Amino acid sequence: MLLAPILRLPVELHLDIVDRLDLHEKVKLACTNRYFSSIIPPPSHSECLLAETDLWTKNQKLLTCKGCVRFRRFEDFADEMRKGKWCRGRANAIARLCLRCGLDGAFYAPGTHLTISNRPHVLCSMCGRLTDQMGDQGFCAGCSPGPRRYLGRLTDYEDDWHHTTKWSSDGKHMYEFHDICPEV
């Protein structure tokens, strides 16, 4: 197998070429093959923060995460981490965390309500899932306490009459169809 002409150059020349590249060019070159991936060191957090002001990161809507020291897309961050003091070049941008790192590092406590891409989400206190299916009191809809129907069964808070009147169109379902009246 023949090597590409650039791969025939000595390692010292490869390193010299890499030193002259911008960060996004280094990233692209490192993605070409294992050899360049092994000789190009990963960017530091401060290098990533500096690159956030470049046109290519703005066009691709990329931000830096402090936890994984990677570029992530906007939708990988909670809205509060993309706005105000957390946005590009601001004071707290150095401490910005993506959702994955925030969840893995316990930055977000169970029961926390988050807004992601202008949609409310909750980190369920019971099951620990981050979901947009919000229930009550910091729980997801599946774990939320209180009266609810589950798989066609009545909850402890409902009896047959209340359930039937709640789900009938006029509230008089039992009387009309069974010629009975509930005892009050």
- Within a domain: 151: yes
What percent of the chain lies above the pLDDT cut of 90? 48
Counted residue by residue, the chain has a size of 184
Q: What is the Cα–Cα distance from 158 to 149, expressed in whole angstroms?
A: 9
Q: What is the pLDDT of residues 43-61, one digit of tens each?
A: 999 999 999 989 989 999 9
Given a contact cutoff of 8 angstroms between Cβ atoms, the answer to whether 79 and 118 are in contact is: yes
User: Does residue 184 belong to any structural domain of this protein?
Assistant: yes
Task: Decide if 183 is inside a domain.
Answer: yes
Output the pLDDT for position 49: 93
Reply yes or no on whether the pLDDT at 175 is more than 60.
no
Taking the C-alpha atoms of residue 8 and residue 47, their distance in angstroms, rounded to an integer, is 30
Residues 18-41 have pLDDT tens digits of: 999 999 899 889 989 999 999 999
Cα end-to-end distance, the chain, whole Å: 90
Our count of domains for the chain comes to 2
Residue 51 lies in a domain: no
Query: Which domain does 152 fall in, by range?
Result: 147-184
Across-strand partners of 150? 153
Residue 167 inside a domain? The answer is yes
Higher confidence at residue 65 or residue 144?
Answer: 65
Half-sphere exposure of 103 (CA within 13 A, CB side): 17
* Residue 97 placed within a domain: no
Confidence of residue 142 (pLDDT cuts 50, 70, 90): confident
Task: Answer yes or no: is 70 within a domain.
Answer: no
